[in-house]
Structure 1
Amino acid sequence: MSARPGRLRLGDRVRFQEHTYTVVGLTGMQVRLADTHGSGMLVDQVHLQAAGDFAVIGAGDRTALASAALLEHLPEKVAERALWWQRHLVELLTGLPPDAPAGTRPRPEYDPANCSLAERERAKAAELVALGEEITARTVKRKRQRYEAGGITAVVDRRLAPHATLLGRADPRVVAAIRQAISESIPASTRTIEHARWRTERILAAEHGEGTVEMPSRATFYRIFDKLSHGVHVTGSARTRRSLADQPEGPFRYESVAAPGELMQIDSTPLDVLVRLDRGVPGRVELTALVDLATRTIAAAVVRPTTKSVDASLLLARTLTPEPMRPGWVQALAMSRSVLPHRRLLSLDERLEHAAARPVIIPETIVCDRGKAFISENFRSSCRTLEITFQPCHPRSPAEKPHIERTLESVATMFCQFLPGHLGRTAEHRGRNVEDEPLWSMLEIQELLDEWLVAKWQNRPHDGLRDPGVPGRTFTPNQKYASLVETAGYVPLALSGDDYVELLPAAWRAVNSYGVKVNNRIYDCPDLGSFRRQPSGVTRKRNLWEIHRDPYDANWVWMRNHWETGWIAIPWKHLGSVPQPFGDLAWDHAAADLRRKGEPNPTEEEIAGAVAALLIKASQGPSNADGPSTRMSKRDRRVAARTRAAAESPGLRPPQPEAPARPDADGPLADDEEAVAGTDDEPIAKVIPLGVFDPFKEADKRW
């Protein structure tokens, strides 16, 4: 036997497609075969040798090919010994050593034409004994058989080779119980190996009976457990353990995209930075971003106190809108100074004349997780309106949208860590007194993030944007967009005020005599005159009317005119009683606070007055002159600050109609204003102090 490939000659008998043929002709890359009946066929050599049952009859089996890389994991002396054995075994099998020069004739005792295999084995054993090796012919035969079966690695001493199995001679029942204990620990809290050992004993007792299966020693169990739990993090971080368990089995699939917007991913995560919400109140916000897979462009990113469905919808609006140059930005960030095809795009959309170097990408398919903000009917409706394919992931499958997961992590490491108030990704990475650092407001964080995305992210070479022909070259997101826009094209899409209203969350309500009631708030205006107590005509919604609202501004709602076209802007009935806009966050907090105080069924005016007082106190800040009972709690200040920050955050806003005229001081609203302003003129109840406790008087009372 030899590792050298054999040859196909005329007259050779071959096995092909479960039949035996004789080679009767060789012409170029084709072979002519003939069977026992004389019937012939012409077969391509590649097709012949690729057949599963192809073999040259009588040629014998080839020995396994040897590779020096297989010996790299062995000690140097062991590898040299294996190569030494290979040289002698090759001479034993072929008659010549591997390094014999051309034209060399075999030695007589190793000539396969004159000596049998057994004679050559005895001759080789005698030669090795003469060299000082204590080797018998039987040992030579055993080495030869192993070499023919497994190649050079088979002649290595098994005591020095890696173990054939990972667990050696461990009891399979114990191994199965340990695997079950490891699988049970994935969703549970982190425990020690001792708990896994106790759990293994319980599993064996339940399945095989108490004392039936002998547990290994403590040291042996630790060794087996370490091998089985490698890479699972059983005794490590629970977050890492669950993340690894959520990864899909098998190879990862590569998504091939060829155009900007063909496949995009959206997700949100808490920002690893404390922000100054209002009057120095520190708090955390969430970052919601949309990334394009073809160009790795962060099409839009918004910072909000909490991610709602309207935020995801407004993110689509920012994606479809050019990023304007801001005051203070250097001119190098303009689209006209970038690699983007500015002149060609300017002829299609005049808004790009003063735009920043961030491409406008129209999504075709958006992949998201099953967060409430993304699977909401409002976000789905926005995708349907913009003709975007909505594709949610499976539950607990972050690997189905890895690009946005890694992008948000990159924003944390490349942007957030350079800001004051950086919290780190976990509590163990957090420093002391982070809230005492000079914090940016949410509005300022949004401005800095927008500028950083244009200046840094869009001009940074991305490892996922490599040239297939030249893998050493990477592209920036702007460069990749400029190269793909030549073939993908560009379709501008302008968003009007009505488009913005379409992206707001929808609710279905009836138009009553007093107006429209949404979240215990009444909205009314003269334009509702002909719609009161009338059906909308949408029978599948029980003839209710479609109402759109902004969760961050409770002052207005918009009703779709199902009878004609367009929207009807409806103000809140008590809009004049609250001096500044607020959203559902402050409204719900004020309502819950009144319920905790025992107020029976708080009315809408009382909730509005409580919210107004909350915002007024937040704007004034705590006063040392006030007693502890008048100071706002930390939670109250945080809610007010988050509401104010959301109301002041930048973004597209629909043109709001003029607020209704404020009544005169003598009107009925004056009484409401007095109720909201407070009761400073009311008399304060008399305070009766407690008496001093006297133990002797108390003792006399007992007798």
Structure 2
Amino acid sequence: MSTRRNARPAVKPGARVRYGGVTWQVVALSGQEIHLVGPDGGGQAVLAGHLFADPGFTVIGADTPQAAPQWGLFETAPAAAREKALAWRRHVREVECGLTGGPGSEGTVRPQYDPQRHTLAEREQAKAQELTALGFGRVSRTTVQRMRLAYRKQGLWGLLDHRTTRASSPTGRADERVVAAVREALRRRRGRSRGTINGLFPLVHQILADRHGPGTVPVPSQATLYRLVTTLARPGELPTKPVRQVPASIEGRAFTPATALRPGEQVQIDTTRLDVLALFDDGRLTRPELTIAVDVATRAILAAVLCPSATKAVDAALLLAEMAVPHPARPTWPHILRMDRAPALPHQRLAALDERLAGAAARPVALPETIVVDRGKVFVSAAFTAACEHLGISVQPAPPHAPTAKGIVERTFGTINALFCQHLPGYTGSDVTRRGPDITHDACYSVPQLQDLLDEWLVHYHHRPHQGLRHPLMPKKALTPNQMWAALLAVAGHVPVPLSGRDYLELLPVRWQSITPAGIRIHHRTYDADFLAPYRGQASPVAGRSGKWEIHYNPHDVRQIWIRLTDGHLTEIPWIHRDHVHQPFNDHTWQHIRTHAQHHTHGDAEHVEAHLADALDQLMRRVHSGHATTTEQALVARTAAVPLPAAHHPQHDRGQGANDPTEWGQDDSIDDLDEIPDTEDDEAGLPAPRTGFGLYDAHEEADKW
């Protein structure tokens, strides 16, 4: 079987790696140690963390994985340019392996592109002649070679005609000396009373004469000067714009294998409406949409995401991320639901590779090799397929009108409805004939609450025997998904090379925002940093986004965002009140604070935001001191990294004065947040890190091992 292009390299017995400037061969894996044999026959045992952290570490013979695709920028290109890039990808793949779909795809290899009969140079020459005949223009072999190398380095982004994405200069073809004079005239006018645009032209003429001599620089027309002044002026500097005071200092057909023999070999994904009513934020009672990923080999539900509305590509990408990382156990869950307490899982061997698995939920974790999806627009979208291609995952669309191609995931939906949904208030039944007379009065859970209940139920599901799981040595005994995962992991395990921090940032959800003089405003939160000074009030160079900038955010911790500036890298920008709130929080918690504080917030936006930050801090204090209500305790528990004390009822503990939220936790100092009492098993963790995106540093982890 041919190796899938762009698959993540893996360290396994027989692989050859480059470590410490020497080429080694992997002979064995033992827990956290990787045993290597050098060219002189000498052996060495290396910790996995030190091996991956070596600057010169590579897996010899493995394809270098591409960087995370900048799909948000690719979608800004014109449709014709995107279609041409997709056409080039098919031709480049045919030159490399003979098949337009890539290695392992279906189809017949044409004789002129057969790698067994022709060299790469001959195949490039044949492709150049074919493209010239098809109307691509005069295409030479050098052009085909350049496109092939660009695809290897940058993926689909490298095949795009970047002339269509290059942003035009805001000043057009105007003389740079005139542009500099207009900027200087605007600078001199700052801090003074605003006049008309016409009143600025004599000053521009004077600056040109003083710098370059009278008559040296041709003066453009009045219309050109109007356009330059309007383009270069800051918000509030023109009389025709809204007045805003700006400080002067601000600068083919799918193939579905019948069986899967290892975890992640085939994963089926599908979406359906859950058979239970949920209370949405706008007050509506509607059935939420559930998207799950089921592993065929173990019948494990690797990820499950509930969405209030239709599932989007971002939700599907979040599903991919949840499959490949351990699921953290909630502080309020019983200890038996943690991986280190589950008797069926090899937690000691797994924790030796990654100690964070000790605090994870007792659920299987696997990075899919092949994903089988239906032809829904979310799963065949360019964003979802690009994310799968970056992770080395093969996507197989199911044949049309063939529900049996995804029979396992379809049957799993029935299991969820039978074992989970029917026990919840607001259950709608499978059809109207099984629906109660007035189920709307029973519905009481919101979508986040249903997600919490579902996450806990999924751990129980993986401890339940499944009739479709049988061990070859015990064919009469039905195994649980956890038992099957442990059995297959022992014979098909390997150590995948971890993704880099930049790749995780690129795969975070994306939104487009403007940079205002005060910073970046998202849901009444302000993100700001000193390095934003040259970009305040300026338009983004990205064409097709109305001057907005590309922002990446973590939906589970909104205390910081990441912005892509003109250097092309993602840079972190903190929330201006991040130092005041010492624990992670999500948008749901923030909206809860806004809803309950809306009658007490008056004044400008800065005052309101400071008041909301203080209310959020008081909420954290009440929760960690044990004086929060059950609703508040459940709200914070979704993002808490440490066990929380049980919720108290203030009216029983403090009398009538406890109903005033401003009196709760007034005696609690800020240090109390760091002094969480130990649990019975001494497993209380430290507070969540102030920044970051859930990754570990390889050097620091290796030193801990």
Q: Which has the higher contact order (CA 8 A, sep 6+)?
A: 2
TM band (smaller chain):
0.3 to 0.5
**What TM-score results when the alignment is normalised by the length of structure 2?**
0.41
